[in-house]
């Protein structure tokens, strides 16, 4: 009877160990994927910032050019005799 | 209107997706708390653990899906905005080009008008130097008078006129007048022939003057030699000397004789020279006689 109890204990321990390994594998898998997600987010942030910066620069240049054109057109319209010629 | 509506719809969808992503966070936190409590309080822990694992996986997948949607929509909006800015930049460039073209046209028109209005006067060459013209007018009679007078006076005038700079300019102008005079003379053949004849005569006159001056010098030198001979010499020497003098004196007489045919002035000069020679001959003869008497 003592031998039968020892065997059952060993089997229980084996089952417990296997379950523990499965749990550890799951946890590592989840951690790895979360890290990938984090890396993606960091890269996306950098890309988006650069795009926004270039867009902002283009808008500034465009604004200045428009201001210059407005001034030139204003000067031209202020002298109607030139248009008449 | 359609463009604005589309852009507004895209904006709204992005905002909605972002809001869903924000709402996902408290749901995940509440799920985590529930799983923790159920695992601790339940007697069937393995079953609770399995259920919790499944739920966590699904929650993470959902979160990733939301993140992907938000990222895609944001990228799409940025691309559209960039495209719009590029289009606007092209339009501004077009306007700038038109304005530059207008400026070029106005500048050309202005220059053309200024060219039409402006009048640039042209001055002739002879107006540039008014003073040499006055000298030119005054210089002509001097040259004419100089031609009539002796050559020596003309040479002195040329030397005097050559030294200053202003006079050299007048000299050039006079040379121009000479060239014009030569052209006028070339038109008439008679005038040219007469001018050539006078030039030849003047040339001959110069030569005659030079030859006469040299002969006068030689004739003047000979009496000094005769006077230099000592009186104590032999009679033969004195007789030889007198003969030589006679031979030498005979040559100029022949040359002077040929000039009588050409000009009266030259004949007058020849007569004067012959008289002087004859008087010197007689003087020498009387001297020789006196010397011969003294020797005896």
Mutate to test the interface with A, among B58, B96, B101 (most CBs of A within 10 A): B96
| B127 pLDDT above the threshold of 50 | yes
Interatomic CA distance for residues B277 and B273, integer angstroms: 6
pLDDT: which is higher, B2 or B220: B2
**B15-61 residue pLDDT tens:** 999 999 899 989 889 988 998 999 999 888 888 988 888 998 998 89
**Partners of residue B67 in chain A, C-beta under 8 Å:** 37, 40-41
Of chain A, the percentage scoring pLDDT greater than 70 comes to: 91
| B83 pLDDT above the threshold of 90 | yes
User: Which of B227, B220, B224, B222 has its CA nearest to residue B288?
Assistant: B227
Q: Do B92 and A66 touch (CB under 8 A)?
A: yes
What pLDDT does B256 receive? 42
Interatomic CA distance for residues A41 and A45, integer angstroms: 6
Q: Do A51 and B82 touch (CB under 8 A)?
A: yes
Q: Do A55 and B82 touch (CB under 8 A)?
A: yes
Interatomic CA distance for residues A62 and B92, integer angstroms: 8
Which among A34, A58, A76 is the nearest to B89, CB-wise? A58
| B116 pLDDT above the threshold of 50 | yes
| B229 pLDDT above the threshold of 50 | no
**Partners of residue A55 in chain B, C-beta under 8 Å:** 78, 81-82, 85
| Contact partners, residue B157, CB within 8 Å, separation at least 6 | B142, B146
**Partners of residue B96 in chain A, C-beta under 8 Å:** 65, 69
| B4 pLDDT above the threshold of 80 | no
Which among B49, B60, B85 is the nearest to A58, CB-wise? B85
**3-state secondary structure string, A15-83?**
HHHHHHHHHHHHHHHHHHHHHHHHHHHHHHHHHHHHHHHHHHHHHHHHHHHHHHHHHHHHHHHHCHHHH
- Residue A43's pLDDT band, with cuts at 50, 70 and 90, is very high
Do the beta carbons of residue A30 and residue B61 sit within 8 Å? no
CB pairs under 8 A between A and B: 48
**B173-212 residue pLDDT tens:** 777 777 777 666 555 545 445 555 555 554 444 444 444 4
Opening angle at CA B261, ends B260 and B266, nearest 5? 40
Q: Do A69 and B99 touch (CB under 8 A)?
A: yes
Distance from CA of A22 to the nearest CA of B (A): 11
Q: Do A30 and B89 touch (CB under 8 A)?
A: no
Domain residue spans of chain A:
10-77
What pLDDT does B173 receive? 77
User: Which of B296, B260, B244, B252 has its CA nearest to residue B278?
Assistant: B252
Distance from CA of A69 to the nearest CA of B (A): 7
DSSP code string of B208-274: HHHHHHHHHHHHHHHHHHHHHS-TTS-HHHHHHHHHHHHHHHHHHHHHHHHHTTT-HHHHHHHHHHH
Q: Do B85 and A69 touch (CB under 8 A)?
A: no
Largest CA distance in chain A: 123
**B241-282 residue pLDDT tens:** 444 444 444 444 444 444 444 444 444 444 445 555 666 666
Interatomic CA distance for residues B250 and B254, integer angstroms: 7
**Partners of residue A54 in chain B, C-beta under 8 Å:** 82
Which among A41, A61, A76 is the nearest to B102, CB-wise? A76
Tell me the average pLDDT across A12-41: 93
**B86-115 residue pLDDT tens:** 999 999 999 999 999 998 998 998 888 888
């Amino acid at each position: 009877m003592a031998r039968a109890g020892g065997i059952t204990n060993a089997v229980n321990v084996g089952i417990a160990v296997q379950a523990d390994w499965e749990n550890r594998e799951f946890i590592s898998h989840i951690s790895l994927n979360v890290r990938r997600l984090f890396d993606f987010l960091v890269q996306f942030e950098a890309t988006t910032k650069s795009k926004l910066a270039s867009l902002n620069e283009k808008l500034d240049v465009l604004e200045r050019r428009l201001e210059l054109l407005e001034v030139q057109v204003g000067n031209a319209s202020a002298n109607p005799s030139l248009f008449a010629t | 209107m359609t463009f604005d509506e589309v852009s507004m719809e895209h904006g709204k969808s992005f905002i909605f997706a972002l809001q869903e992503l924000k709402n996902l966070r408290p749901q995940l936190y509440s799920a985590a708390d529930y799983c923790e409590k159920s695992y601790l309080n339940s007697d069937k822990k393995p079953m609770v653990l399995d259920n919790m694992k499944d739920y966590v996986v699904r929650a993470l997948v959902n979160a990733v899906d939301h993140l992907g949607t938000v990222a895609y929509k944001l990228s799409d909006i940025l691309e559209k905005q960039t495209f719009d800015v590029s289009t606007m930049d092209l339009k501004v460039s077009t306007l700038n080009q038109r304005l530059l073209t207008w400026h070029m046209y106005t500048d050309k028109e202005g220059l053309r008008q200024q060219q039409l209005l402006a009048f640039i006067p042209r001055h002739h060459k002879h107006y540039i130097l008014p003073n040499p013209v006055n000298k030119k007018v005054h210089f002509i009679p001097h040259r004419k008078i100089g031609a009539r007078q002796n050559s020596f006076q003309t040479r002195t005038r040329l030397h005097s006129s050559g030294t200053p700079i202003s006079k050299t300019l007048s000299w050039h102008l006079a040379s121009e007048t000479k060239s014009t005079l030569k052209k006028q003379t070339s038109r008439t053949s008679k005038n040219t022939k007469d001018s050539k004849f006078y030039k030849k005569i003047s040339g001959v006159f110069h030569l005659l003057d030079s030859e006469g001056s040299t002969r006068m010098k030689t004739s003047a030198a000979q009496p000094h030699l005769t006077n230099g001979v000592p009186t104590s010499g032999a009679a033969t020497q004195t007789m030889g000397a007198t003969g030589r003098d006679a031979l030498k004196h005979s040559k100029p007489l022949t040359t002077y004789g040929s000039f009588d045919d050409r000009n009266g002035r030259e004949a007058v000069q020849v007569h004067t020279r012959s008289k002087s020679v004859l008087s010197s001959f007689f003087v020498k003869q009387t001297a020789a006689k006196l010397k011969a008497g003294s020797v005896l």
